[in-house]
Amino acid sequence: MGYTLHYFDDLINVQLKSQNRKLTKQQIEEIIKQAEKEKTRVIKIFKFDYIQTLTPSEIEKKVKYHQINLYTLTNTLYEYQTANTKEFELYHALQIIILQINDFLSVYFEIYFDFSMKLPFYTYNEVSKNLKSILDLILGTLTERDINPDFLKTIAEIHNYLDKRPIRLTYRLTTYFKELFESIIQAIETTNDNIENKIIRIFYDFGFNDSVLCNYLTNKITRELNAIESINEKIFHLHTRLKEIRQFIISKPHMILNIGITPINKSIETWLIEDLEYHKHSNVPLLTMPPTGQSTKKIKLNLSTSELSFFLKHFFATDMFQQQNFKQLCDHIAKYFMDHNSKPYNPESLRTKFSSVSTASIDKVKTILISMLNGINRYS
């Protein structure tokens, strides 16, 4: 009772792989019938035999091992289906059968199932298509409600999580977006006024910690500040916003979009604190400014905005700077430097992009720091 998928392994990786002639309808029906029997057998082994004879840790290993192999088998069938449309009916039916085993594991052994795993191609296509249609419906409804176009663009950025095949959805993100969309639709149906604020609150509850939302919210507060002339009134306004964000009770603390990245409410709170410090000490210079009328030639860096933001945030955390804050640092970096494409850095983006950095960007910054450390070690 070790591995239960030998039948499917042999059928998919040996028999169907070497199949040259088109199968008859009777042969297809016989294969599907046998596959259904095997599905029932596998489920019974997990549901009864494993439960009675194995320890929880052993069951967990079985579930994860079978989940990985079910994923591989399903994707192999999807590739067959793409390359050979003649046997579409068979490949499609077998994918459904295998995914039913996988679905059983996700429900019956939920505590052991790896929900961080990417969806198989077949499931991804179905789920992505469904979620995109719901998102488009939400955007269309909000457009009719005369919502801020910039806020609509922020919501539309969710398409990036649904469209990019190299990333693909995980089981966890699938559940996340389904529940997020349900909450937004409910808000649209029950709210007549301030729908934008209601959806923003939903984003807070769901830990929607993508940098695009952080940028939208900080830009919104910046516009509010720009409409205020008095420094004291600006400070009071920031204190009010900070009090509001700290009083938020997050109703779904277990929900988060990007694991390992600061929750959106904490990012905004940090931004507000930095902005408060900036306005309190706005007369303290960070660097010597060039004389009036003297042009400032920007220095080109081989770093994107998110890479530089990630680097600066951790560089600033060393407390090397005295009596300054992160906003001032970003303002001055943007003034004197430009990116590898000769485009100026946006100071607001530098302040927020560190919270949503790709693995590739993190690796690039690590490589730079390791190279610096190796250079320093030569002197010791």
109-156 pLDDT per residue, tens: 999 999 999 999 999 999 999 999 999 999 999 999 888 999 999 999
The pLDDT tens digits of the residues spanning 238-275 come to 999 999 999 888 888 889 998 888 889 998 999 999 88
Q: How far apart are CA 272 and CA 9, in angstroms?
A: 56
Final residue of a domain: which of 90, 114, 138?
A: 114
- CA nearest 91: which of 100, 80, 99? 80
For residue 289, give Cα distances in angstroms to 42, 274, 312: 72, 21, 20
Q: CB-based burial of residue 72 (10 Å sphere; 0-12 exposed, 13-18 middle, 19+ buried)?
A: middle
List 223's β-bridge partners, or say none.
none
Is 315 within a domain? yes
Burial class (CB in 10 A: 0-12, 13-18, 19+), 199: buried
Domain membership of residue 51 (yes or no) is yes
**pLDDT tens sequence across 319-353:** 676 656 777 778 878 888 888 777 888 877 777 77
Average pLDDT of the segment spanning 69-73: 96
What's the total number of domains in the chain? 4
What pLDDT was estimated at residue 354? 66
Do residue 85 and residue 19 come from a single domain? yes
In a domain, 171, yes or no: yes
Residues 159 and 242 in one domain: no
Residues 139 and 230 in one domain: no
pTM > 0.85 = no
**Same domain for 70 and 162?**
no
Residues 100 and 134 in one domain: no
Q: Is residue 194 part of a domain?
A: yes
pLDDT in tens, 189-246: 998 888 999 999 999 999 999 888 999 999 999 999 999 988 889 999 999 999 999 9
Contact by Cβ (8 Å): 355, 211? yes
Q: What is the pLDDT of residue 314?
A: 75
Which H or E element spans position 31?
A: helix 25-44
Q: Are residues 163 and 216 in the same domain?
A: no
**pLDDT for 324:** 61
Cα atoms in the 13 Å half-sphere on the side-chain side of 218: 27
Closest C-alpha to 2, from 70, 59, 72, 52: 59
Residue at 294 is within a domain? no
Do both 223 and 312 map to the same domain? no
* 81, 138: one domain: no
Q: What is the pLDDT of residue 289?
A: 44
Nearest C-alpha neighbor of 174 from the set 260, 94, 98, 113: 113
Q: Give the C-alpha separation, 138 to 118, whole Å.
A: 25
* Residue 142 located in a structural domain: yes
Which domain, by its residues, includes 369? Answer: 299-377
SS3 at position 344: strand
Residues 12, 15, 20, 24, CA torsion sign: negative
Which pLDDT band, with edges at 50, 70 and 90, does 173 fall under? very high
> What integer is the mean pLDDT of 70-99?
92
Same domain, 273 and 303: no
Same domain, residue pair 93 and 11: yes
Q: What is the DSSP string of 87-129?
A: GHHHHHHHHHHHHHHHHHHHHHTTTTS-TTSBPPHHHHHHHHH
User: Amino acid identity, residue 234?
Assistant: K
Whether residue 282 is predicted with pLDDT greater than 70 in this model: the reply is: no
Where do we find the tokens 């057998």? 41
- DSSP H helical segments within 227-378, as ranges? 231-247, 264-280, 305-316, 326-336, 347-352, 359-377
Res 340: pLDDT: 75
Between residues 169 and 373, which one has the greater pLDDT?
Answer: 169
How far is the C-alpha of 154 from the C-alpha of 352, rounded, in Å? 15
194 and 227 together in one domain: no
End-to-end CA distance of the chain: 58
Among candidate residues 79, 114, 149, the one where a domain is terminated: 114
CB 328 within 8 A of CB 285: no
Residues 6+ away with beta carbon under 8 Å from 24: none
Q: Are residues 23 and 104 in the same domain?
A: yes
Top-confidence residue, 204 or 285: 204
The enclosing H or E element of 48 equals: none
Instruction: Write down the pLDDT at residue 276.
Output: 87
Is the per-residue pLDDT at 294 higher than 70? no
Length of the chain in terms of residues written: 380
For the stretch 100-105, contacts whose Cβ atoms lie closer than 8 Å and that sit 24 or more positions apart, written own/partner, are 100/39, 101/39, 101/42, 101/43, 101/66, 101/70, 102/67, 102/70, 102/71, 102/74, 104/43, 104/46, 105/46, 105/63, 105/66, 105/67, 105/70
Q: How confident is the model at residue 100 (pLDDT cuts 50, 70, 90)?
A: very high
Task: Determine, yes or no, domain membership for 20.
Answer: yes
Residue 299 has φ and ψ, to the nearest 5°, of -95, 135
Nearest-angstrom CA–CA distance, 338 and 88: 53
Instruction: Over range 16-20, report the average pLDDT.
Output: 81
What is the C-alpha to C-alpha distance for residues 343 and 349, in angstroms, rounded to an integer? 13
